[in-house]
Amino acid sequence: MNKILVAYFSASGVTARLAKTIADVTGGELYEIHPEQPYTSADLNWNDSKSRSSIEMKDPGSRPAISGTVENMEQYDTVFVGFPIWWYVAPTIINTFLESYDFSGKTVVSFATSGGSGMGKTVEILRKCCSEKTNWRQGKRLSGGEDSASVKAWIDSLKI
């Protein structure tokens, strides 16, 4: 049986809603990626070049610390990894998450929310955080209010 984890980082709750829908559709377990130092609204102000998120996203080596870990990661066969798109890529905390576990032999599927930006080179960047033995499936940008039927259609198309 395919055991599924739906791991996500959500700054405003939009990605969290989508992650819950994916977990409901797949029967997967939810895991929220919490930053060790929570983001304030000032941290998330992308119009301020000195905001925490702006500084992190300008530094490709940035790896914000995560509070907590996934227990028994080895039990999962498929891991959906969700996040909002920041500056046309995943927030660097997602790199931290992916580098924290061995995804060899696992299927990883990214999903993202955004106000309009596509996935860009997000998956190419994230793949570098994992073993070459990770089976990546096509990620997708979805709206935070995506209904179960459209989420199910996408997941079914992945043939996991």
Angle at 112 between CA 73 and CA 156, to 5 degrees: 75
pLDDT at 5: 98
pLDDT at 115: 79
pLDDT in tens, 102-134: 999 999 999 999 877 778 888 899 999 999 999
Percent of the chain at pLDDT exceeding 70: 100
Q: Residue 126, Cβ neighbours under 10 Å: how many?
A: 23
Q: What average pLDDT does range 50-56 have in this prediction? A: 92
Q: How confident is the model at residue 78 (pLDDT cuts 50, 70, 90)?
A: very high
pLDDT at 148: 94
pTM of the model: 0.94
